[in-house]
A and B are shown apart, each in its own frame.
Chain A
Amino acid sequence: MNRFSYARPTDVAEAVREVGSDPSARFIAGGTNLIDLMKYNVERPTRLVDITRLPLTTIDKADGGGLRIGALVPNSDLAYDDQVQARYPLLSDAILAGASPQLRNMASTGGNLLQRTRCLYFYDTATPCNKREPGSGCSAIEGVNRIHAILGTSSKCIATHPSDMCVGLAALNAKVHVAGPSGERVIAMADFHRLPGDQPERDTNLGPQELIVAVELPDEDFSKNYSYLKLRDRLSYAFALVSVAAALKIDGGKIAEARMALGGVAHKPWRDTTAEDMLRGKPAEEASFKPVADHILRDARGFGHNDFKIDLARRAIVRALSQAAAGTPQTQTDKRIK
């Protein structure tokens, strides 16, 4: 790990100023991803701005009736929060599907949004990677790419976003509140993360000095018909090969509203609102789900080792929607898929 200087501001404005004082400075909260990347020399900040003393630690009612989650709320506290479990169980399940209890105790809400890909080449500084060193090339496209993306890829990068929590947040239409040198702004979850395009080094649309201060959940009720289905190489403590966050509102056996986001398949949580539109008014049964799954995967492309993900994703979508429709969400303890 390289040497760095350290600051511990106590208010947001001071933190934003501190990070602006050095172009390679980084904010640090839980540290579960940043310190790991620093140990691999993938990240080499010369200054760390410790934001854990900022007053961003509470979960409060939002103005519009939703929930405002402080950026420093640990993943475990968020997942087990009474209001989140009652009103947004899809988010709770998505969080509990990820990492380990120790990491969830450490990791912050804001940091989860900013975690970086687990692409093996991104981590391996001996290989080219456009995300780590722009212009050096992508080793994954013709390399070992079993864990890589099948949707929204570019000729520069086929990395996936690793978060489960963000898949839940995308399906729930969350908003991200950020503070920067010119004040606060709000970014819709769909616009927060980016596709790789020609700039895979940019994971998000956050400005260089901007700090996530809160995540807001809208006042909507998807607490009855939902499921977070995560498929991975071992039953726990592994990143998703494919995951699906599904949420439905059902009225008289017909779908009144549908929400869906996929993890493990793209550079960002994959949300396709045209697929959600297709479900509106359809019977809440398997026959309605298959064409939607085909639609979502219409432009999917494999790179060899990850070809299997296309069919896996198709079937995971149908299964997650079926679980949501039946009101029998995938349990995050007993991993048997019903």
Chain B
Amino acid sequence: MNSILKPGPNTGAAQAIPITLTINGEVRHLTVEPWTSLLDLLRDELDLTGTKKGCDHGQCGACTVLIDDRRVNSCLTLAVMKDGASITTVEGLSQGDELHPMQDAFIEHDAFQCGYCTPGQICSAVGLIKEGRAHSAEEIREMMSGNLCRCGCYVNIVTAIEQVIESDGARIKEAAE
């Protein structure tokens, strides 16, 4: 018998756990089951559907968010483990009606087609700039390799990120420190 058909042990051990997360600047007191991924919490419980579920296995980067300013795959993150952390999703990047410079640059350079990978691309690119280690198109390509785009908009994505590094990179990195 293959293991997927075996009854799961201990299935009754449902245990909702109270946690506190700061999500896009707002403190949220939540109760989560331990197996809830941060991605599912954001999308299904909090209606923050900007963060996308692509592969759900950490291979595509569509679910990228910033936790305490570092980019991570929210699909491989258990929400319960991030108790106390600060989460930024694509919904939290703009200041009121003013888009983040990275969002403006993606629009200006037409850095998407279907748009499904775009929130993850943008959050990842903001994380990349906060890290401050990409200084050339080559380095951007390598350090954005965790975000796949099936439409193949890579050339314009790199151009958009290059522009933001040139115009706002120092300011964004400084704000992260």
Contacts and interface: CB of A to CB of B under 8 A. Distances in A.
Judge: A and B partners, yes or no: yes
Interface of A: 1-6, 8, 24, 28, 31-32, 35-36, 39, 41-42, 44, 46-48, 50, 52, 76, 80, 99-103, 105-106, 125-127, 132-133, 235-237, 332-334
A5 B15 contact: yes
Interface string B44-72: 00000000000011100100100000111
Contacts, number: 118
A237 B146 contact: yes
B103 interface: no
A35 B145 CA distance: 21
B75 to A, nearest CB: 8
Given A133-B3, A333-B142, A31 B77 contact: yes
A209 B34 CA distance: 22
Contact of A28 (B37, B81, B138): B81
B3 A334 contact: no
Contact of A31 (B78, B127, B143): B78
A102 B146 contact: yes
Contacts of B139: 333
B58 A4 contact: no
A102 B35 contact: no
A44 B9 CA distance: 8
Nearest to B63: A102
Contact of B76 (A4, A35, A76): A35
B142 to A, nearest CB: 5
A76 B144 CA distance: 14
A35 B128 CA distance: 24
B57 A236 contact: no
Given A102-B124, A102-B146, A106-B77, A125 B13 contact: no
Contacts of A126: 2, 4
A32 B127 contact: no
Q: What bracket does the count of chain B residues touching chain A fall in? A: 35 or more
A41 B4 CA distance: 6
Nearest to B9: A46
Contacts of A41: 3-4
A102 B128 CA distance: 10
Nearest 3 A/B pairs, CB to CB: A100-B146, A236-B145, A2-B8
Contact of B78 (A35, A133, A237): A35
Contacts of A100: 61, 145-147
A106 B73 contact: yes
B31 to A, nearest CB: 13
Nearest to A136: B2
Nearest to A99: B146
Contacts of B61: 100, 102
Contact of A106 (B13, B34, B76): B76
A102 B64 CA distance: 8
B81 A52 contact: yes
10 contacts: A3-B10, A3-B12, A5-B10, A24-B9, A36-B57, A46-B13, A80-B133, A100-B145, A125-B4, A127-B2
B56 A39 contact: yes
Contact of B58 (A36, A50, A127, A334): A36
A236 B146 CA distance: 9
Nearest to B12: A3
Contacts of A235: 145
Nearest to A34: B76
Contacts of A47: 10
Contacts of A46: 9-10, 13
Nearest to A132: B3
Interface string B126-144: 0110010100001101111
B35 A1 contact: yes
B80 interface: yes
| Best-surrounded residue of A3, A32, A236, A332 (most CB of chain B within 10 A) | A3
B8 A105 contact: no
Given A24-B9, A101-B146, A31 B76 contact: yes
B17 interface: yes
B11 interface: yes
A324 to B, nearest CB: 22
Given A28-B81, A39-B57, A125-B4, A103 B146 contact: yes
A41 B56 CA distance: 14
Nearest to B8: A2
B7 to A, nearest CB: 9
A101 B131 contact: yes
| Best-surrounded residue of A5, A42, A100, A334 (most CB of chain B within 10 A) | A100
| Best-surrounded residue of B56, B81, B138, B141 (most CB of chain A within 10 A) | B81
A52 B12 CA distance: 26
